Each structure stands twice: as C-alpha cells, then as structure tokens.
A and B are shown apart, each in its own frame.
Chain A
Amino acid sequence: MRHFSVELEELNQTLLEMAGLVEASIHHSVRALVEQNRDLAQQVIRDEPLINSLEMEIDGIVTRLLALRQPVARDLRFLTAALKINTDLERIGDLANHIAERALSLMHHPLVKPMTDIPKMASLVQSMLLKCLDAFVRGDADLARSVLLSDDEVDALRDAVYAELVATMQRDPGIVPAAVDLIFVARNLERIGDHATNIAEDVVFLVKGIDVRHHAEHFEKTESGDLAK
C-alpha cells in the first residue's frame, strides 16, 4: 500500500473517532434533557475538551498532508472536506454541550409540559448526522443528498416549537425561564441540523466532485474549466 494511503486512512480513523464522540454527545445531551438525567449532562460537558483536542489534531494532520504530499483529485477533495467536516463536528460538539447546560438548568424548573416536538427534532437531527457520517464512511453521495432534504423539516419543527412556547409564555409568565431554556435547545438542535447539512454537502463534493451548496449545481461545472453539459 502507498505510504500516503496509510496516512489518509489514519486521518479517516481520527475523523471517525471524533464523529463517534460527537454523536454520543448529542445522544446524551438529549437524553439528559428528556429524562432529566444529571449524570449524562455532566458526561457531555466532560467530553467536550476531548472533541476540541481531536479538532486540533485533525487540523494538524490535514495541514501537514497538504504541505508534504501535494494531494490531487480525490485525495485533495478528501483533505479539504476533512477540514470542513472537522469544523462542523466541533461546532456540533459545542451545541451538544449547550443543550447539556440547558438540561442542567431545566432541572431547577418544572417542565412546561411533556415534550413532544423537541424529542422529535432531536431524533431527526441525530438521524441526519448518522446518515451523513455513514455516507462519508461509505462514499455514498445519494445517502448524503437524502440528508439535505431533512433540513426543511427540522426548520419547520423549530418554528412550531417557537410558536408553541411563545403562546405558553403569554398565558403563563411563570414558565418563562424554562421556556427560554427550551427555545435555546430548539435553536441548538436546528443548528446541529445545519451542520449535518454542511457535512452532507461536503460528502457529495468528496464523492462526486460536485458542489451542491447554495444550489450551486445549477451553475454547472463551467468555472472549473470542465465542459458544460
């Protein structure tokens, strides 16, 4: 096996290690919230520095490989995608951490009502993240594209949560502190969905070499010098 392939595989493994930690953090933060589980919330907060140090490690590996290996074609796309996925994963880790903090704060307030939309949002963004990581591992552009479709659903759920919480606050100002926490949770979950979408777009670029961000597909590939279709 080529020496460079071994190095790329090491990078791949480090990214997957980070993805695994981030996935677990979301899962734990949402469970901490729904089940009012203090231990799980604290575990998320404890794991955050690990995610941060992996982010720095991955940036270091990519910078080194860019400087020393003159990557081209898929190797180059893999390295630039790795840099961006790294940033998105780290942000997701931060957001999971924020949710864990809100979960701890909510333990001091009575729940507004049994949560329905927030767990629904949570399971949707978790499945988005799982799918885009799975797509990354398997190099499956179709699976990655399927993630892009879920983002609107997450946004709609967030709007529903906002509307419901605003209405509840207007009826009963006593629940404002708890409702504010939940608004932030919904906001954080929606942001996780955005980062998962970014990762999915990077996976499509990695696999197909096509930029699907900002509906860029419509512009076709003429700018890179390829023949227009």
Chain B
Amino acid sequence: MSKVPAPKKLSTENLDFYYGAFQALHGITLDFQENLITALIGPSGCGKSTFIRTLNRMHETVKGTRLTGQILLDGKDILKEDVNAVRLKVGMVFQKSNPFPKTIFENVAYGLRVNGFQGGKAAIQEVVEKSLVKAALWEEVKDKLHQSAFGLSGGQQQRLCIARALAVEPEVLLLDEPCSALDPIATAKIEDLLFALKSETTIVIVTHNMQQAARVSDFTGFFLLGMMIEFNTTNTIFQNPTKKETEDYVTGRFG
C-alpha cells in the first residue's frame, strides 16, 4: 500500500457509453495509478465489464455502440490513436481463457509475429521464455512447449493467455474476471502473479468476487447501474466505505 500517490497512468474523463439507445455508463471519471492494482467491483450488469473494455477500445468490436468522453493514456487520448498501437500498450485478459489452436510456444510468439517483431528466432525464443516465466507458467510447460495449448488445465490456459498478453510488454494489463472459471489454487497462482507483475505494469481487474478485490488491489471502484458510486483505497472500501451503497454491497446486504 503506497502512501504517496503514484503518477496516473490511465484515466477516463466523463465517459458515457451507449448500446444503441441504452446508456450503459454514466460520466465515469477515474484515474488508474501507475504500478498499482485497481479492482472494479459491482453486481452483474453494473457496467464494470463494459467499462474495462473501453480501456483498450474493445467496445469498438460491438456494433451499435457509442462512446463519448476521453480515455487518456499518459495524458494522450487513446480514442485518437491507432487502435493496434493502443492495444499493444494496453493488453487484455478475458474471463474465459482463449488460447489459439496452436502450440504453447506459438500462442505466446503469435503477438510478436503479428506486430512485426524484428528479432530473429533466438530473440523470439527468449521473449517466449521470459513471458512464460513472468506468468509463472514456465516450470510447468518448459518440456512441452510444442504441444497444443488445449492440453493445459484451465488455470494454465489462463496463465498462458497472460503470458501472451505480456509478450508484447504492455504498460497496462486489463483483466476481465480472469479467475471466475478457476479453482482456488489456480486463482491463488494468478493473484500471486499479479503482485509480481505490479512493479512493471499498471493493472486493472474486474471481478465479481469481492474477496478477490480485497486481496489483490490497492484501489477499488464500486460500480452500480452504470455509475461509479465510490472510488477509494481498497482499505477504505472494505473497512470504512463512505457511501451506503458500497457498504451494503461489500457486506453482502444486496447485489
């Protein structure tokens, strides 16, 4: 828990988001501090997943949506930049692990290749190993790098997806309920991994598991009905929230 506020890496300014005529997000203004973990919590349908998807412009893959407001990465509006460049800097890991139907090695190397990685074979090998080490998966897969990724367990597949996201060295890592399909041991591995990654990456995690938010994050934002009700240190949110809605949600009285 850092006492001095870290510089803000990513922020949104007055973000509104619509699916057709339905407004899913109402004026979200939020700062994500560098090298810290921010958790977004709230009941189903509160807009937390919609929100995290806007942070690397994944929302643009859904037709009929509209976004107003600003999303600033290091002060620059990502909505005005090249979308591929944005996604290189802001990586995403999804709820359901989605390895490609390729080998373990190729899953991690893929991002490098499609982004025109200049290094040779040895350099790619090095990045793949480094990424798998960072994702705490290397020891488990180093002897079967050229086997299909589908042979891995659910937890391993999720860490493979994290390794794939890390290969391009993103500055921000977004995770949308990354552990909801995993058992407690696999979940603990991912959580420990997040602590290890924090020193070099700014992390945003959406979770409907409040205990997970409490365990892993430095800051927590509570969403309800498309609005951000409260944003505070995780300590404050779980010990002494300022809003009644937050208190009711974290104590399990509704939601």
What is the interface of chain A, defined by CB distance below 8 A to chain B?
2-4, 63-64, 67-70
Given A68-B215, A70-B211, also A3-B239 (CB < 8 A): no
- Residues of chain A within 8 A (CB-CB) of B188 are 2
- A189 to B187, alpha carbons, bound, how many Å? 50
Per-position contact with A for B185-210: 1 when CB-CB < 8 Å, else 0? 00010011001000000000000000
A69's nearest neighbour on chain B, judged by CB, is B215
Pairwise interchain contact A3-B192, C-beta atoms closer than 8 A: yes
Pairwise interchain contact A68-B192, C-beta atoms closer than 8 A: no
- The 8 Å CB contact of A3, one of B195, B211, B214, B234, is B195
- A68 to B235, alpha carbons, bound, how many Å? 7
Pairwise interchain contact A3-B191, C-beta atoms closer than 8 A: yes
**B238 at interface, CB cutoff 8 A:** yes
Could you list 24 A-B pairs, sorted by A, with CB under 8 Å?
Answer: A2-B188, A2-B192, A3-B191, A3-B192, A3-B195, A3-B215, A4-B215, A63-B239, A64-B235, A64-B239, A67-B214, A67-B235, A67-B238, A67-B239, A68-B214, A68-B215, A68-B234, A68-B235, A68-B238, A69-B214, A69-B215, A70-B211, A70-B214, A70-B215
- Residues of chain B within 8 A (CB-CB) of A67 are 214, 235, 238-239
B213's nearest neighbour on chain A, judged by CB, is A68
- A156 to B66, alpha carbons, bound, how many Å? 82
- A70 to B215, alpha carbons, bound, how many Å? 8
Least CB distance, A160 to chain B, in whole angstroms: 49
User: Would you call the interface of chain B mostly helix, strand, loop, or mixed?
Assistant: helix
Per the CB 8 Å criterion, the residue count for chain B at the interface is 11
Least CB distance, A36 to chain B, in whole angstroms: 45
- A63 to B214, alpha carbons, bound, how many Å? 13
Least CB distance, A206 to chain B, in whole angstroms: 23
- Residues of chain B within 8 A (CB-CB) of A4 are 215
- Residues of chain A within 8 A (CB-CB) of B215 are 3-4, 68-70
Least CB distance, A72 to chain B, in whole angstroms: 11
7 tightest Cβ-Cβ pairs between the two chains A and B: A68-B214, A67-B238, A67-B239, A3-B195, A70-B211, A68-B238, A64-B235
Per-position contact with A for B222-255: 1 when CB-CB < 8 Å, else 0? 0000000000001100110000000000000000
- A201 to B215, alpha carbons, bound, how many Å? 30
Least CB distance, A178 to chain B, in whole angstroms: 50
- A4 to B214, alpha carbons, bound, how many Å? 12
A1's nearest neighbour on chain B, judged by CB, is B192
Given A2-B192, A3-B192, A3-B215: 20 more A-B contacts, CB < 8 Å: A2-B188, A3-B191, A3-B195, A4-B215, A63-B239, A64-B235, A64-B239, A67-B214, A67-B235, A67-B238, A67-B239, A68-B214, A68-B234, A68-B235, A68-B238, A69-B214, A69-B215, A70-B211, A70-B214, A70-B215
- A63 to B211, alpha carbons, bound, how many Å? 15
- Residues of chain A within 8 A (CB-CB) of B211 are 70
- Residues of chain A within 8 A (CB-CB) of B195 are 3
- Residues of chain B within 8 A (CB-CB) of A63 are 239
Least CB distance, A119 to chain B, in whole angstroms: 46
- A194 to B107, alpha carbons, bound, how many Å? 64
Q: In the complex, which of the residues A64, A68, A69 has the most CB atoms of chain B within 10 Å of its own CB atom? A: A68
Least CB distance, B11 to chain A, in whole angstroms: 25
- A68 to B213, alpha carbons, bound, how many Å? 8
Least CB distance, B87 to chain A, in whole angstroms: 29
- A69 to B1, alpha carbons, bound, how many Å? 14
Least CB distance, A11 to chain B, in whole angstroms: 14
- Residues of chain A within 8 A (CB-CB) of B234 are 68
A66's nearest neighbour on chain B, judged by CB, is B239
A68's nearest neighbour on chain B, judged by CB, is B214
B212's nearest neighbour on chain A, judged by CB, is A70
- A191 to B192, alpha carbons, bound, how many Å? 45
- Residues of chain B within 8 A (CB-CB) of A3 are 191-192, 195, 215
Least CB distance, A66 to chain B, in whole angstroms: 9
- Residues of chain B within 8 A (CB-CB) of A69 are 214-215
- A68 to B188, alpha carbons, bound, how many Å? 15
- Residues of chain A within 8 A (CB-CB) of B235 are 64, 67-68
Per-position contact with A for B36-52: 1 when CB-CB < 8 Å, else 0? 00000000000000000
- Residues of chain A within 8 A (CB-CB) of B192 are 2-3
- Residues of chain B within 8 A (CB-CB) of A70 are 211, 214-215
